[in-house]
Amino acid sequence: MKYLITIVGPTAIGKTALSIALAQHFKCEIISCDSRQFFKEMTIGTAVPSQEELNAAKHHFIQNKSIFENYTVGDYEKEALLKLEEFYQNNDFAILIGGSGLYVDAVLKGFDEFPEIAPEIRAEVNSNYEKLGIEYLQKQLKNLDPDYYQKITIENPQTLQNPQRMMRFVEVCIGSQKPYSSFLNQKKNNRNFTPILIGLDADREVIYNRINQRVDIMMNAGLLEEAKALYPNKELNALQTVGYRELFSYLDGEFTLPFAIEEIKKNTRRFSKRQLTWFKRNEDTRWFDYNIDRQKIFDYINLKLKV
């Protein structure tokens, strides 16, 4: 039996430290599932593990791509599964750690199959978006798939501001003449491993304080300078990320620096709330307080291994 110990939870909760402890205990390697830590140009603002942490256990999918590459969640799913196959030739365990719920689901469950969309439809949707903005995509999805639009609005409203995702939803609706949601949950993807899901959580006040402290640490570490270096490419999809967007607004003269920093903290707190909403949908996840004695987590995993 092969096992994928999966650690989820909100940002700044301590997932990295736990994953390293587990990797050392089970003598295995770590797959990162943070969709912004993939990019080598983004270090401070994505809270990439320190060199000391990277040396403590072998990590994969950390700063392995460029912001200039078109890297999708489907690409990640294929590469992560290949890496797991490689791991399992010599080990019964691997660690998956991440705060990006869609990417965690990609590895654990896979994706639904969608029809091929004609290039001219994709081009037309993209052209209309460039002329009319994100509001065009939002109105189209609301008209073509009102149920899915409502689901996103409730569960993951940030998606409504993501042009890449929204264009995909709309082009599928137009190209197939069916709602995007009609293609979801149609196919069962088999996996050659058994997931053991561990969630880290804390009181909301604790999470928010940890986030505020982390943002201050990032600013002191040079996040503004990193944002300045990335500013010429601010329109890239990879840079539509909390921590960078707000500093780009400062560099555009729209925000003062103190206001931009407070916006980073506020938007990160909102992001953490959405992360918990996403992860707590999975009833198989066993949740622990972030400050719990780690031995209790090890005991739980060992119990699952005997089942």
Share of the chain above pLDDT 70, in %: 99
* pLDDT mean across residues, the chain: 94
The predicted pLDDT at position 84 comes to 97
When pLDDT is averaged across residues 82-96 and rounded to a whole number, the result is 96
The predicted pLDDT at position 173 comes to 95
Sheet holding 93-97, edge to edge: 59-60, 30-32, 93-97, 3-8, 194-201, 286-289
Domain ranges of the chain: 3-111+189-306, 119-183
11 annotated binding-site participant: yes
CATH for 119-183, options being 1.10.20, 3.30.2320, 2.40.50, 2.60.40: 1.10.20
* pLDDT exceeds 80 at position 24: yes
* pLDDT exceeds 70 at position 191: yes
* pLDDT exceeds 90 at position 99: no
Residue 247, token pair as written in the block: 């500093």
When pLDDT is averaged across residues 91-113 and rounded to a whole number, the result is 91
Count of residues making up the chain: 307
14 annotated binding-site participant: yes
Predicted TM-score (pTM) of the model is 0.79
What pairing do the DSSP bridges indicate for beta strands 59-60 and 30-32? parallel
The predicted pLDDT at position 188 comes to 60
What pairing do the DSSP bridges indicate for beta strands 93-97 and 30-32? parallel
9 annotated binding-site participant: yes
15 annotated binding-site participant: yes
Q: What is the pLDDT of residues 241-280, one digit of tens each?
A: 999 999 999 999 999 999 999 999 999 999 999 999 999 9
* Confidence class for position 307, pLDDT limits 50, 70, 90: low
* Confidence class for position 184, pLDDT limits 50, 70, 90: confident
CATH code for the structural domain at 3-111+189-306: 3.40.50.300
Q: What is the pLDDT of residues 113-150, one digit of tens each?
A: 778 888 899 899 999 999 999 999 999 999 999 999 99
Picking from 216, 232, 240, 91, the residue whose alpha carbon sits closest to that of residue 159 is 240
Query: How many Cβ atoms are within 10 Å of 150's Cβ, its own excluded?
Result: 11
The predicted pLDDT at position 230 comes to 98
How far apart, in whole angstroms, are the C-alpha atoms of residue 69 and residue 172?
A: 23
The predicted pLDDT at position 114 comes to 79
16 annotated binding-site participant: yes
194 annotated binding-site participant: no
The predicted pLDDT at position 263 comes to 98
Q: What is the pLDDT of residues 33-88, one digit of tens each?
A: 999 999 999 999 999 999 999 999 999 999 999 999 988 888 999 999 999 999 99
Q: What is the 3-state secondary structure (H, E, C) of 261-275?
A: HHHHHHHHHHHHHHH
